[in-house]
Amino acid sequence: MDFRSLFCCVKGSDRKAQGKKETTWRIFSLKELQLATNNFNYDNKLGEGGFGSVYWGQLWDGSQIAVKRLKSWSNKAEVEFSVEVEILARVRHKNLLTLRGYCAEGQERLIVYDYMTNLSLLSHLHGQHSAECHLDWTRRMSIAVGAAEGIAYLHHYATPHIIHRDIKASNVLLDGDFKAQVADFGFAKFIPDGATHVTTRVKGTLGYLAPEYAMLGKASESCDVYSFGILLLELASGKKPLEKLSSTMRRPITDWALPLACEGKFSELADLRLDGKYDEEELKRVVFVGLICAQNRPEKRPTILEVVELLKGDREKFAAIESDEMFKSTPVAEDNSSEFISDEKEPKQEIENVKSD
């Protein structure tokens, strides 16, 4: 693939059309990136994903970057690399991670981004920063709204429309002001004009996958809405999408949150690390919107644009959601452990099921 020509055609027009974030990307040499990252030194490592490792680096002008380096070359990895650079080069939004450039020399494939000082949402909710309690309620609300706005840009304003297919806490990065930046476009897909969905191989992460996508490979905007709903519940409660109940059983966060929401037990839903310091109305909003997004029937989920309005406090829309039948009857707290996910069946975090592509 000729990346050079790809970037040349995208650059001019998109910058004009979007003009929200004035950035330029360029091609980096391998030498420059080796120099910036101290030869991809282990001490510079920021994170690891399916694609490879991400390293912190500093360029000659003093600016800080993050460099994602492909683990090992394969056709599949090459596709993921080109999808990510192609999509990131087309999008410009305050809540989408900015592409600084890429490097494709020999079998090396590297993607260069702005460095996000506060790393990922995952690191604050469940990872190395979780004990530091940096995420107060105001920050959580602005992360929720910001991430939703980034996704809304992909679904409704980018042409063609884009579905992300891997919305999750490790793919929402946080800048120095804890502003959300949606990242990792390796699984993203363009939705052709007029299409309601694309049938594709299932990619993504267990716990965040919409059922119609996991089972039938039907990917659409509403699959991202489902994953975003899980993320909202995670953000409010500090719980993981799948909670480990025993060595082999995991409970989806929705199964835990729905009965509590129906009974109005919001203090039980709130992350203990918030220490009771949250706006109850907003917490209620985040939980209800999370649950309405992460429901099994895709036709009943809101669009991400509606989610933005709901999170920002649209009272009329929220009243309609609150009176939805799913919140009317308290689900019976019976032994429904047979519905829980067994580790033995789904041992891997990143799943990949072959469907017609």
Residue nearest Mg ion, CB atom distance: 49
**Which segments of the chain are extended strands (E)?**
26-27, 45-48, 52-58, 64-70, 99-105, 108-114, 161-163, 172-174, 180-182, 189-191, 198-199, 218-219, 242-244, 249-252, 341-342
Q: What angle do CA 178, 182, 186 make, to 5 degrees?
A: 145
- For 251, the 3-state DSSP assignment is strand
Whether the link from the prior residue into 211 is cis, omega within 30° of 0, is no
Active-site residue flag, 166? yes
Cα–Cα distances in Å, from 161 out to 23, 61, 87, 165, 318? 21, 35, 11, 13, 26
Cβ 310 to Mg ion shortest distance, Å: 26
User: What are the φ and ψ backbone dihedral angles of 353, each rounded to 5 degrees?
Assistant: -110, 135
Under rule CB under 6 A, which residues in 9-48 are in contact with ligand ADP?
Answer: 46-47
User: How many residues form the binding site for ligand ADP (CB under 6 A)?
Assistant: 22
Residue 211 contacts ligand ADP per CB under 6 A: no
Q: To the nearest 10°, report the CA torsion of 238, 241, 246, 247.
A: -120
- Per-residue x/- track, 56-85, ligand ADP (CB under 6 A): ----------x-x-----------------
Residue 54 contacts ligand ADP per CB under 6 A: yes
Closer residue to Mg ion, CB minimum distance, 121 or 145 = 121
- Per-residue x/- track, 162-181, Mg ion (CB under 5 A): ---------x----------
Q: Is 317 annotated for ligand binding?
A: no
- Which stretches within 100-136 are classed as H helix? 121-125
Closer residue to ligand ADP, CB minimum distance, 122 or 257 = 122
Residue 171 contacts ligand ADP per CB under 6 A: yes
Contact yes or no for 226/298 (Cβ under 8 A)? yes
Cβ 151 to ligand ADP shortest distance, Å: 15
Q: To the nearest 10°, report the CA torsion of 308, 313, 317, 319.
A: 140
Residue 173 contacts ligand ADP per CB under 6 A: yes
| Span of 7-15, 18-26, 181-189, 310-318 interacting with ligand ADP by CB under 6 A | 181-189
Give Rg (Cα) of the chain: 20
| Span of 86-94, 115-123, 205-213, 287-295 interacting with ligand ADP by CB under 6 A | 115-123
Closer residue to ligand ADP, CB minimum distance, 182 or 258 = 182
Closer residue to ligand ADP, CB minimum distance, 78 or 255 = 78
Residue 306 contacts Mg ion per CB under 5 A: no
User: Position 277: which residue type?
Assistant: K
Strand 99-105 versus strand 26-27 pairing type: parallel
Active-site entry in 61, 114, 166, 193: 166
Residue 49 contacts Mg ion per CB under 5 A: yes
User: Position 328: which residue type?
Assistant: K
Under rule CB under 6 A, which residues in 118-147 are in contact with ligand ADP?
Answer: 119-120
List residues with catalytic annotation: 166
| Known binding-site residue numbers | 68
| Known binding-site residue numbers for ATP | 68
Binding site for ligand ADP (CB under 6 A): 46-47, 49-52, 54, 66, 68, 97, 113-116, 119-120, 170-171, 173, 183-184, 186
